[in-house]
Chain A
Amino acid sequence: MSDAVLRVNNLQTQFQTRAGVLKAVDGVSFEVARGRILGLVGESGSGKSVTGYSILGLIEAPGKVAGGEIILNGQDITRLKGEAMRRVRGAQIAMVFQDPMMTLNPVLKIGTQMIAAVRAHARVSRKAARARARDALAKVGIPSPEERLDAYPHQLSGGMRQRVAIATALLHSPAVIIADEPTTALDVSIQGQILAEVRRLADETGTAFVWVTHDLAVVSSLADDICVMYAGRVVESGPADSVIASPRHPYTAGLLASVPAEHEPGTRLPQVPGSTPSLANLPSGCAFAPRCAKAGPACTTTPPVQHFEDGRTALCHYPIEPVSCPPLSLTSTTYRSAS
């Protein structure tokens, strides 16, 4: 994938705390091409959201991006400061947040907020900005967008608000949109509509998405590629189909095994034992080793990145052998494009 619009290279994001330096993101690398959707998967505390915020330069003190590169359209944006970074945010790269109830200011009209977003990057009149906001709302499938501009957030449903947030992110046709669990707070039916809409937008506008989520079912139906994160590192990556069909990292396998859809109703669900380690107290070597059934003596040393077919990688001493069973499906729907 040399046509990547966003390439994250060995990203390090650290938080300075009393307990020491916490490496929330420790050497994460991935890339997304035009019109593609990358699923960034992990449990709470795995560093997936921090990765998203790092890309937009929205990490607040005491955190900072301590190393690595974030190449957006050929430009390393980790070097940008203040006003230069502001010009990038919202224009070339945008973000959608988890809770649509919280991301829109409750006391400002939708129109006011969107017009401000338009005029942050384009020198246009209020009228032109309003027209652009209306078009963006129409593009994400909001009925009677003109009236919605004069509505306040509390007058819209959660799904509508998330569409407004996505429309706002799309205003300047950014190359990449980082979506931080945007459907987690929504009903499953609304979630389905939004996922379908996002897939269509990615295909039609060429905007690439980094879809941060803990929901493997969402990723399997939406994403082209997957990065699985654990304790601040990417433990497995590759094309979504292939990773889900045959995980090579024990952690990915554990996550997939605990998705209810695959199991006979009434049987006990397998689970990954233990919980995510505290970043202040990571085990040396492989961070997953204490929870891993396959852990061996080598796991006390940092695991190597192993490369497999289709550009797949896994960060493991003892990767799982590929299985040749037919690909299983986690959901009956797929929002992936036919290509």
Chain B
Amino acid sequence: MIGFLIQRILQALMVVIAMSIIVFLGVYAIGNPIDVMIDPASDQALREALIQRYGFDRPLIEQYFVFMSNMLHGDLGESFIYRLPVLGLIMSRLPATLELALTAMLIATCLGIPLGLWAGYKPDSLSAKAIMGFSVLGFSVPSFWVGLLLIMVFAVELGWLPSGGRGPTTEVLGMNLSITSLEGWSHILLPALNLALFKLGLLIRLTRAGTVEVMSSDYVRFARAQGLSEGKVVGLHVLKNISIPIVTVFGLELGSTLAFAVVTETVFNWPGMGKLIIDSITVLDRPVMVAYLILVVFLFVMINLVVDLIYGQLDPRIRVKAAS
């Protein structure tokens, strides 16, 4: 078990290093940040001074090692634009994205799994067909359009919920959260729903496919032959067997929601990380881009590690393979 963990953490480290090189090179190739940072009318002396200050005159490889060694000391550099430490900048936006993504995943899971189970349990019923139709809409209708529609209906026409922004936040464990207050919830509901829609469609289809397969298996038939109630058959046999693909997709989706919730964040003017990275890309704010992408890689790697650990808990056969 510990060997497995160490192996996975080493792998994760390799991914982070590889990623940092790719990102560093890629961003370097995009263009010279100096052109964006200073007034084009400023003189050559100021230009030179800035280039000196940020070390752009040094070889790329040296710049990379300086960046990496700073990172190991917990210093991801300073934003060219905000003139603030990058880490603090990202961390100030992280809670907003975190609560949005988690709320969206919660909605998608709490609705998606029961609906998918039902659609797989009674695949020929009218309700199952309606659920499947809805799930197709869920992941084929563009997210920004649904977002606008939600604002039109619930914020503009009905006036039940605010159209954007984060509302009041309270500090919990050093993070500013809005889900602690009712008004915060009214702000988060629409963007979370918007973000959840795609995942909801995905989870419904995934759960249904697994359920259909497991329901026709011999062990479900055997369980029924023992007189287990249908609730027990689904709750005990089906749920545990379909959970592996669900956990996989849940992990992937959680990662991508955290990293790339940018469309929803833009539509609902949600001050999360997605908006930060898009702004940084437009102004070539290299430290923010690099640090952000490394953080994303780190998130994905951590989520996948947790998913792998959960696999072992869900399926004993995987545990055996990992041990051998």
A102 and B224 CA atoms in complex are apart in Å by 14
Chain A, Cβ-Cβ closest to B318 = A107
For B226, give its contact among A90, A107, A108 (CB under 8 Å).
A90
Contact of A103 with B222 at beta-carbon distance under 8 Å, contacts A90-B227, A121-B227 already known: yes
The count of A-to-B residue pairs whose CB atoms sit within 8 angstroms is: 85
Binding stretch for chain B, among A22-30, A92-100, A191-199: A92-100
- Give the interface centre of B222, B224, B316, B317 by most chain A CB atoms within 10 Å: B222
Contact of A89 with B227 at beta-carbon distance under 8 Å, contacts A105-B237, A116-B232, A152-B316 already known: yes
CB distance from A263 to the nearest CB of B (A): 35
A91 pairs with B227, CB closer than 8 A:
yes
Chain A, Cβ-Cβ closest to B215 = A60
Contact of A152 with B222 at beta-carbon distance under 8 Å, contacts A90-B228, A107-B240 already known: no
Chain A, Cβ-Cβ closest to B218 = A102
- Tell me how many residues of A have a C-beta within 8 Å of chain B: 33
B229 pairs with A86, CB closer than 8 A:
yes
Interface 1/0s, chain B 285-309, versus A by CB < 8 A? 0000000000000000000000000
For B219, give its contact among A83, A86, A91, A105 (CB under 8 Å).
A105
B225 pairs with A56, CB closer than 8 A:
yes
Say if the beta carbon of B221 comes within 8 Å of chain A.
Answer: yes
Say if the beta carbon of B127 comes within 8 Å of chain A.
Answer: no
A88 pairs with B227, CB closer than 8 A:
yes
Contact of A102 with B228 at beta-carbon distance under 8 Å, contacts A107-B314, A108-B237, A108-B240 already known: no
Say if the beta carbon of A120 comes within 8 Å of chain B.
Answer: yes
Say if the beta carbon of A58 comes within 8 Å of chain B.
Answer: yes
A106 and B240 CA atoms in complex are apart in Å by 10
B222 pairs with A95, CB closer than 8 A:
yes
B228 pairs with A97, CB closer than 8 A:
no
Chain B, Cβ-Cβ closest to A108 = B240
A58 and B240 CA atoms in complex are apart in Å by 23
Contact of A168 with B226 at beta-carbon distance under 8 Å, contacts A97-B221, A107-B314, A107-B315 already known: yes
Say if the beta carbon of B236 comes within 8 Å of chain A.
Answer: yes
Contacts of A88 in B (CB 8 A): 227
24 sample A-B contacts, Cβ–Cβ < 8 Å, listed by A number = A58-B224, A88-B227, A89-B224, A90-B228, A95-B225, A97-B218, A97-B221, A99-B218, A102-B219, A103-B218, A105-B223, A105-B240, A107-B241, A107-B314, A108-B237, A116-B236, A117-B226, A117-B227, A117-B228, A120-B226, A152-B317, A154-B317, A154-B320, A169-B226
